[in-house]
Structure 1
């Protein structure tokens, strides 16, 4: 059976990652058609990425036909898998997500805190439109969501969208596994981590290598060797030794924003004062990447793409699609419905958890009740995520404010309202669901 994969956000600099992953698996995951889709503003980048992707396919000698278009409905015809990697408002909107909170002494980050909230607000309505198109045009297709904040967006799709064949993916669990493999000098496929929590707020409860529990050794390595596993978009801070001793679990790289809040904020403010926002840095990385992509002599993914922060995207997304297609029943870490895996959270909450991948979708493995040290923070973050989703769908100002003050990275009720109002105004173009509420609020 020949398969068609549609990549929405095809003009992204990440796209060569997924093209590489599909090419590598083509002998077992028989994709013969890829359609790259973007919007009018991304037309030129889409053309450049499409030409690079065609060179990659020709060089690999695989029978895949690749097309690109700005007509989403046309591209979705006959799709078996739809991957989505969009950024509503582009990197300019991300820069505001980072800059405005930082100007008030709050963490400015694209998927955490106030910045992550507003990325979700801009993204969720667009993703729901995409889901409606998929349900209408290719209802049997799997929607693989890589758009951040991945957990929040995936839950919004499953709760409010008509299309239920949705799975969220993130490269952070794979990054963590890969780093553990490097620590022990073994192949990554020999490493298994029991993950429990939420996207960008997940913990590694236990570590196995070749089926042998190596959790304590892993913690000792982290304690004594000052090792880390942060992606390139997060400058790692060393973990407090007592924190690791007490936790006895692996924190996510993103946990530094919560457990090392003051140091992370100081580091981000210093970086902003010296180099501008991370978004501005990424703009330069992207400019250089696209110059490389234009080179007709290049026929593989440039190594510089790893500096973009999306390393191992293809491993996460393509491994998932391959396993869904083959009913592999292997175990992967995905964002999916809880369904009782973590009793401390609602069954319809989306969690990041090890799951058995079947043709009918992921079956989450039972985690059990969360350890006391992480139960409170995870439950609080889930309440925050649910408020964000409600606000994104309804545009209600009070719900939006409640979401803001529920987030641990927003430390002041007064700052919360100032940042909220500034960001609503700054992103008004991309927030139609809030427009009437914003107008009403401004007249009071």
Structure 2
């Protein structure tokens, strides 16, 4: 049949209208025939609301995309060309626990970094691997485009523990960084190029270009003198001028958790006291968004979605799918198997790096070794991701404790054990692999 079939698992997400908008504006290049939005029974109401908005959006745009909603993943996956995953196992209540429990022990509580990132990975990886098994049976030639966090750890697990080789992990952080630099320089984003390399939420801009000319020093000077570049969910504390100048490359917003740990912890504890966790803030935002989505007269993505914190995620996914489908050979930063792109990371591990996007998938651009100042931190986080992925698959408590302990945001094995034990119990319903022997 003409056109392509795309399946979005986690289709009831508040981000989905951005995905729909992205497919609509690219329809002349990317002829989506069917878009299946899939969710779990607990998400049925949101799925139906989003599905209704999606149908109104494509009708208003006058494009012949058939929107299907389903709670049956296998029904949806059959003969798909692309599968996107945007799931949150345990929903926002689980995120609230990921953010609040570590704070009790004086440790950063964040959904993709430190203990919270570990627990999100332990919950998410087994579900993603189940999706991979279904894909092997029902759409073995489809591309898996994952933007479920922690995206780097999930990509690592898919590459190691599934037979789905056509997989790409996606994150909005590099896109946000490019947009942020463009705003700093007062230019259109298309004029800015950044050489990205590292890991998911641990990516660096090795060089920044404006119209092909290197402007890294200028951007770092602006950043160190107080110009803001962050995200909705990460407070901007500024940077020490001497530190940024000595670093010599562009950090991502998430690096604040590693380079400004004590200040970020203090901010988190204060926010927790005054406003609750970020998850609780997001729950309020989502409630408002879904009230908007219900409106039968709404037929476009509402501007309020930008307050949700994940801007550019879905648009980046649409652009990636478009580039693969049309063999565009443009450059995009994505999570893929390293294959020698970064010399100090194992070839078979997942990295986040600029790639040439072809019909055969992303081809990583070789950057060589990372600068010595950041190499060790990146390697430590990669070790954490590797061990965490193994723990998620095996349900091995000792491996989970090892992963928790080697994460640089956790100060000791004793504290790691206390946090792990409490968080395993708190998430028990979503971690059957750790409780199989319990009667």
Where on the TM-score scale, by shorter chain, does this alignment land: which range?
Answer: over 0.9
TM-score, with normalisation over the residues of structure 2?
A: 0.98
State the 1:289 CA deviation.
Answer: 0.4
Task: Give distance in 2, aligned partners of 1:218 and 1:115.
Answer: 32
Counterpart contact for 2:36–2:69, Cα < 8 Å: yes
RMSD, aligned CA: 1.0
Match of 1:340 in 2: 340
Match of 2:174 in 1: 173
Task: Spell out the pairing of 1:347-386 with structure 2 (5 A cutoff).
Answer: 347-386=347-386
Task: Give distance in 2, aligned partners of 1:229 and 1:300.
Answer: 28
SS of 2:29's equivalent?
A: coil
Match of 1:66 in 2: 67
Count of paired positions: 438
State the 1:343 CA deviation.
Answer: 1.0
State the 1:158 CA deviation.
Answer: 1.1
Match of 2:283 in 1: 283
Matching of residue 317 in structure 1 with residue 317 in structure 2:
yes
Task: Give distance in 1, aligned partners of 2:270 and 2:221.
Answer: 31
Counterpart contact for 2:155–2:336, Cα < 8 Å: yes
Matching of residue 246 in structure 1 with residue 243 in structure 2:
no
Task: Give distance in 2, aligned partners of 1:156 and 1:296.
Answer: 41
Match of 2:212 in 1: 211
SS of 1:425's equivalent?
A: helix
TM-score, with normalisation over the residues of structure 1?
A: 0.97
Task: Give distance in 1, aligned partners of 2:100 and 2:370.
Answer: 35
Match of 2:267 in 1: 267
Task: Give distance in 1, aligned partners of 2:428 and 2:378.
Answer: 31
- Per-residue CA deviation, residues 42-62 of structure 1 (Å, 9 max, x unaligned), is 000000000011111111111
- Per-residue CA deviation, residues 179-203 of structure 1 (Å, 9 max, x unaligned), is 1111122221111100110000011
Task: Give distance in 1, aligned partners of 2:436 and 2:149.
Answer: 26
Task: Give distance in 2, aligned partners of 1:86 and 1:161.
Answer: 18
Task: Spell out the pairing of 1:124-163 with structure 2 (5 A cutoff).
Answer: 124-163=125-164
Counterpart contact for 1:17–1:301, Cα < 8 Å: yes
State the 1:379 CA deviation.
Answer: 0.7
- Per-residue CA deviation, residues 254-304 of structure 1 (Å, 9 max, x unaligned), is 000000000000000000011111101110000000000001111111111
State the 1:348 CA deviation.
Answer: 0.7
- Per-residue CA deviation, residues 205-252 of structure 1 (Å, 9 max, x unaligned), is 10011111111111121122x122222111221111111011011111
Name the stretch that deviates more: 35-44 or 177-186: 177-186
Match of 2:11 in 1: 10
SS of 2:101's equivalent?
A: helix
State the 1:371 CA deviation.
Answer: 0.7
Match of 1:331 in 2: 331
Match of 2:198 in 1: 197
State the 1:65 CA deviation.
Answer: 0.8
State the 1:399 CA deviation.
Answer: 0.9
Task: Give distance in 2, aligned partners of 1:124 and 1:434.
Answer: 13
Task: Give distance in 1, aligned partners of 2:228 and 2:109.
Answer: 22
Task: Give distance in 2, aligned partners of 1:300 and 1:192.
Answer: 30
Task: Give distance in 2, aligned partners of 1:333 and 1:147.
Answer: 16
State the 1:117 CA deviation.
Answer: 0.2
- Per-residue CA deviation, residues 375-398 of structure 1 (Å, 9 max, x unaligned), is 110111101110101111111111
Counterpart contact for 1:233–1:307, Cα < 8 Å: no
State the 1:81 CA deviation.
Answer: 0.7
- Per-residue CA deviation, residues 109-148 of structure 1 (Å, 9 max, x unaligned), is 0000000000000000000000111111011111100000
State the 1:36 CA deviation.
Answer: 0.3
Counterpart contact for 2:23–2:30, Cα < 8 Å: yes
Match of 1:391 in 2: 391
Task: Give distance in 1, aligned partners of 2:229 and 2:88.
Answer: 25
Task: Give distance in 2, aligned partners of 1:183 and 1:396.
Answer: 46
State the 1:436 CA deviation.
Answer: 3.7
SS of 2:306's equivalent?
A: helix
Counterpart contact for 1:32–1:64, Cα < 8 Å: yes
Task: Give distance in 2, aligned partners of 1:365 and 1:162.
Answer: 24
Task: Give distance in 2, aligned partners of 1:220 and 1:343.
Answer: 28
Match of 1:236 in 2: 236
Counterpart contact for 2:180–2:229, Cα < 8 Å: yes
Matching of residue 50 in structure 1 with residue 51 in structure 2:
yes
State the 1:412 CA deviation.
Answer: 2.2
- Per-residue CA deviation, residues 346-390 of structure 1 (Å, 9 max, x unaligned), is 001100000011111111001111111001101111011101011
Where structure 2 has 5 or more consecutive residues not aligned to the other structure, the ranges are none
State the 1:415 CA deviation.
Answer: 1.2
Counterpart contact for 2:223–2:229, Cα < 8 Å: no
SS of 2:419's equivalent?
A: helix
Match of 1:29 in 2: 30
Counterpart contact for 2:102–2:115, Cα < 8 Å: yes
Task: Spell out the pairing of 1:412-427 with structure 2 (5 A cutoff).
Answer: 412-427=412-427
State the 1:307 CA deviation.
Answer: 1.1
